[in-house]
Amino acid sequence: MAEPYTILKVMGPYREPRESALSFDYSVQRPNWATPQGVRVKIDLEAELDLLKTKILQVSGGTAGQQLRINQLLGRAIGDRKLDIANEESLFNDRRDVMIDPFTGSWSHLFPRLESWMNQERDRLRQEIREKVGL
């Protein structure tokens, strides 16, 4: 069962060394915790970010700066959704630091929920890119 939480701060994206992934560090607070908890969410560049950007949204072109900004926006959106899915799966109910890996390999059973969200949010994400990036 999903427990309520509040995102206090998000830092990133960071490029993960020796991995084809970006990560975001979330500071998460639950009503019954005395202090926030750290949650790192990793996003696979090919299986998650490129799938959303190129196949679902069909975004292409733009300057290097525009592509960087698109990756930041989409990476954060994916990270937020993955955090919600992890909460629904009770993966960070206990007060401890948590790592949410890409939804591949041993986490692949969660990928269909992420992909479904990508398809549902297609128009909203396209509009956000249009407004914030101008592409």
* Average pLDDT rounded to a whole number, residues 36-62: 94
Q: Where are the domains of the chain?
A: 6-133
* Average pLDDT rounded to a whole number, residues 8-14: 96
- Predicted pLDDT of residue 134: 87
More confident residue, 106 or 97: 106
User: What is the percent of the chain with per-residue pLDDT over 90, rounded to a whole number?
Assistant: 84
Sign of the dihedral through C-alpha 5, 6, 11, 13: positive
8 band by pLDDT with thresholds 50, 70 and 90: very high
* Average pLDDT rounded to a whole number, residues 84-90: 94
Per the prediction, the chain carries an average pLDDT of 93
pTM for the full predicted model:
0.94
- pLDDT, one tens digit per residue, over 89-98 is 998 887 777 9
Phi, psi angle pair for 47, to nearest 5°:
-75, -25
For residue 70, give the H/E element and its range.
Answer: helix 64-88
* Average pLDDT rounded to a whole number, residues 91-107: 88
The answer to whether residues 74 and 54 touch, using CB atoms and an 8 Å cutoff, is no
Phi, psi angle pair for 59, to nearest 5°:
-90, 130
